[in-house]
């Protein structure tokens, strides 16, 4: 059973991070510079919570600082972080010099793998990657990818990423991801059609 963790550094932002996702950040406020320096010194994670237009979401993603890209003379930092695991905020804490709270790291429900959902999501993901980048993914590479690893490389809207982050079932995430990827494929096809029409200058081109 997971035990709540207190004094966990929190970073409310207008984005949603997912486990395995690479997240570049520009740290400029003094309290967050202090927070990141603490995390670097202690080798500690910090948590990104989505601050939407309506509210601060209670489910977030812990991140580790992978690399300090740049230290500016005025103390600002450019860092590269990576999502590690989801958590739920239980209580805010105000006694530290930066935002923090008591959190509980989330675990997935135990369940039998849904091979159909996994196969469908991976097929759509491979098709999207092929259409967007011309890169063909091998079977072994696809088989090693779970829902988070696939979703982390696609620019989904924050609402969709938050829904994925809050699901405690890999099967449910795969089913949702399959739907999101299908929509992304449809949008990409519409975009390509629009580009072809724009380039045609009103004429049908043969050859």
In a domain, 205, yes or no: no
In a domain, 207, yes or no: no
**Pair (67, 137) in one structural domain:** no
**Pair (135, 97) in one structural domain:** no
Q: What is the CATH number of the domain that holds 52?
A: 2.30.130.40
Residue 196 has pLDDT above 90, yes or no: no
- Report pLDDT for 29: 97
Question: Are 69 and 80 a contacting pair, CB within 8 Å?
Answer: yes
**Pair (89, 154) in one structural domain:** no
- Report pLDDT for 114: 96
In a domain, 184, yes or no: yes
pTM comes to: 0.90
User: Using CA atoms, how far apart are residues 53 and 20, in angstroms rounded to an integer?
Assistant: 25
In a domain, 30, yes or no: yes
In a domain, 32, yes or no: yes
In a domain, 76, yes or no: yes
**Pair (96, 187) in one structural domain:** no
Provide the domain count of the chain: 2
Half-sphere exposure of 92 (CA within 13 A, CB side): 10
The encoded tokens of residue 145 equal 């990818």
Q: SS3 letters for the chain?
A: CCCCEEEEEEEEECCCCCCCCEEEEEECCHHHHHHHHHHHHHCCCEEEEEECCCCECCEEEEEEEEEEEEECCCCCEEEEEEEEEEEEEEEEECCCCCCEEEEEECCCCCCCCCHHHHHHHHHHHHHHHHHHHCCCCCHHHHHCCCHHHHHCCCCCCHHHHHHHHHCCCHHHHHHHHHHHHHHHHHHHHHHHHHHHHHHHCCCCCCC
In a domain, 133, yes or no: yes
Segment 78-95, tens digit of pLDDT: 999 999 999 999 999 999
Cα distances from 189 to residues 115, 121, 160, 185, 206, in angstroms, run 27, 18, 20, 6, 20
- Report pLDDT for 193: 64
Domain span at residue 88 reads 5-105
**Pair (76, 25) in one structural domain:** yes
Confidence of residue 190 (pLDDT cuts 50, 70, 90): confident
In a domain, 97, yes or no: yes
Residue 144 has pLDDT above 80, yes or no: yes
């Amino acid at each position: 059973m997971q035990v709540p963790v207190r004094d966990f550094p929190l970073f409310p932002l207008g984005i949603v991070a997912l486990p395995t996702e690479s997240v570049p950040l520009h740290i400029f406020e003094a309290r967050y510079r202090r927070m990141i320096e603490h995390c670097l010194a202690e080798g500690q994670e910090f948590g990104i919570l989505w601050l939407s237009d309506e509210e601060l979401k209670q489910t977030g993603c812990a991140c580790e600082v992978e690399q300090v890209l740049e230290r500016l003379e005025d103390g600002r930092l450019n860092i590269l972080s990576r999502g590690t695991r989801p958590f739920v905020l239980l209580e805010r804490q105000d006694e530290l010099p930066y935002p923090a709270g008591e959190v509980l790291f989330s675990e997935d429900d135990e369940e039998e793998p849904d091979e159909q959902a996994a196969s469908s999501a991976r097929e759509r993901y491979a098709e999207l990657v092929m259409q967007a980048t011309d890169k063909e993914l091998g079977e072994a590479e696809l088989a090693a990818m779970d829902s988070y690893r696939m979703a982390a490389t696609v620019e989904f809207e924050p609402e969709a990423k938050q829904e994925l982050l809050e699901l405690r079932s890999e099967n449910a995430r795969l089913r949702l991801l399959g739907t999101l990827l299908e929509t992304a494929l449809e949008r990409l096809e519409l975009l390509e059609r629009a580009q072809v029409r724009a380039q045609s200058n009103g004429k049908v081109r043969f050859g």
